[in-house]
Structure 1
């Protein structure tokens, strides 16, 4: 019998061993790492990341871990070799976590609604670099981190998600778990790390009202806070032992309703990484079902924009709470508008990073279709959420014909998966224009053989 959830989770974190992991979990970890890396490399060159880099550069710090994409304006992007930019493990976690949550192509876990990779992987990578950990140890830390934050996220979803961005809140626990694993903390120290992580859990959805950059910081700061919590615990700093279930703890304070049993259910036998979902479209995951269906219908019936009289999208309530926006005013706004994403998909039949541009945002053809998109709550989709992120799309043509399609699982869900080869292709396509071909191939090879690294600090070596 355990005195707290943190104690049981701490025991699990200590028990995770590479040699005992199923091969499917090892493979899933490496795929998740590569997918995260592509997001971090491209995101690092976007304005929010560059702003973060400038702030961190002014703070100085020991060269412990690589800051992906940090560069002066007169120096080409450097991510390999002795001259790659480095900072403290804390600053690197913050910078790389922020970068990887910008282009909206990062992984997501449906039941918890967490982009776990953007928090757990930068924390684990930075510490592994600093400590000279092996690739096997890095895999262990990532597995533990995903399991911890996703379980806590599942327990409070969907109530918590109404106000709190779960990636920045529950994600903090995952970063602390990964850091505790790499620091080889004792059971008691790991409990304290989780306690200190939980008291720092923060991330509010208010950013959605204006498309503010705060969302990008949520993942970076969650990773930073988790690493900080573990480093403090190593020094004897104490945290609340019942931070998860206590009367003033995470679940009671930050969710109107929750299912505490989900935190420990099948712990050690069910691996959250096997339920990971990957993005094909460069927008909020809650828009992907509509994009898939619009592309399917316009392609199957060869519908041109001028032939579309109306697009009707029925989906679950949370999708509308986050993405119901008939008049996006920026490219980032567009990524969180289900109506715009559907219109873009109808016109371009794609919704990748290259399609989300100012030109397309202001394209009169896209805007014309946007005016003809109607989104509403569908009872069947609502009843199946959050296990299924479904949608029903009907396109009414100008000649009166109706074309309809439904899905419970957008492309990239683990029930409708993309293959490892497809995700390698996604990575290669994403970094094209940022990295040369040899560097791209090196990153693919190293990511997909992560377990063979004797020292993770060599991952970014020439």
Structure 2
């Protein structure tokens, strides 16, 4: 629907700003509050699990070297400035590949929106209710922008980094109490900083963590500058040299306002239960089911075929991953791992499994292809079909439209609670339970500083 309304003054930023500044906690239905708390709980687990990883430590070391007032706590330890906290905590939650995902916008919102919101909320000693409201607003805005430009934007651009910057700006603006005009400015300057290219996938570079770090930090920066009267472009989305035209071959600007204020898009969010790229989860789900049923040995398996949508292959068609992190983005590796080991958890991705001779041998039997029908349903449905052919000629075929964790194939609150406990396994049991309890009852927290001190 590119250029459908060319020449009309849509002022999309104004409409988004009006929505976010007007939103109050009292307007949130109980189910939205409960779901948002699960998103925040899931973020904490991912950030705790990722805080010790080398790329995150490098970013934290740099933040320490650059200095800053002790305004907000880092998941890597200690305190730093609000900007540094958003940056470090944005990096920490993305690296173990267990953060949430929204199908339509292709955005991992938690990793950019929540660290921005936490940094401001802790600094200003705001409440759990304030944090929940800001997170809802941030998710709403970045999901809508992501939906407007997907899937064409996603080929070169990492939506979480680009569209996510708008979400972090909205969450920060909400917590800073910016008015409508200031929020428009924040969106403008968030958009002009939006960046993050997929080229890192070619050699497994660490840039993906920089993407989320900067998206969170840049949104906070945009909001803080707007608070001081620093202006930004009013039509950063729909302008002739704005986000849509510069960064998408096709876009649908009506997705920005359709149903705005009448629904809560955070409820469309999905959760991950496997520690790999979401584009591998459909196959992993089914191959784990086949493992449970047959527990096949390498010698029994003749071939494995995975049919999916083209974007899944664009990101995960890697027949020879050379690092643990690259393995998370290899559909061949994840498929072989799932079928032989029956799991693709955080503990399953390591140097031993990366070079496991049986996994490597099975990878050579895995064929990944695009299936036109499945491709046509993307990104509304992230589907796949698998066929495992065994020696002797018998085979098993399975198909799914919704990986485990999608709203249509949902995980329970208890499963997410257990997931958090597992991701925070380096903490003593009492500490994990204490943090989880605070997050489950987040609306009762009067000062976010009390929550963050538990780290």
Q: Mapping of 1:26-425 within 5 angstroms? A: 26-70=33-77, 85-425=78-418
TM-score normalised by L of structure 1? 0.96
**In structure 2, C-alpha distance between the alignment counterparts of 1:205 and 1:297, rounded to whole Å:** 32
Structure 1 runs (4+) greater than 3 angstroms displaced: none
Of 451, 454, 457, the residue aligned with 2:446 is: 454
What are the superposed Cα offsets for residues 88-134 of structure 1, whole Å, 9 maximum, x if unpaired? 11100000000101000000000100000000000000000001111
Q: Are 2:73 and 2:453, in contact at CA under 8 Å, matched by a contact in 1?
A: no
**In structure 2, C-alpha distance between the alignment counterparts of 1:54 and 1:461, rounded to whole Å:** 20
Please say if 1:444 is aligned against 2:436: yes
Q: State the shift of 1:2 in Å.
A: 7.4
Q: CA RMSD in A?
A: 1.0
What are the superposed Cα offsets for residues 28-87 of structure 1, whole Å, 9 maximum, x if unpaired? 1100001000110110101011111111101111111000123xxxxxxxxxxxxxx111
Q: State the shift of 1:383 in Å.
A: 1.4
Q: How many residues align?
A: 447
Please say if 1:20 is aligned against 2:23: no
Give the equivalent residue in structure 1 for 2:5.
Answer: none
**In structure 2, C-alpha distance between the alignment counterparts of 1:269 and 1:168, rounded to whole Å:** 27
- Classify the secondary structure of the residue corresponding to 1:393: strand
Give the equivalent residue in structure 2 for 1:73.
Answer: none
**In structure 2, C-alpha distance between the alignment counterparts of 1:2 and 1:422, rounded to whole Å:** 46
Unmatched runs of 5 consecutive residues or more in structure 1: 71-84
Unmatched runs of 5 consecutive residues or more in structure 2: 1-7
**In structure 2, C-alpha distance between the alignment counterparts of 1:203 and 1:3, rounded to whole Å:** 27
TM-score normalised by L of structure 2? 0.97
**In structure 2, C-alpha distance between the alignment counterparts of 1:389 and 1:41, rounded to whole Å:** 28
**In structure 2, C-alpha distance between the alignment counterparts of 1:288 and 1:50, rounded to whole Å:** 28
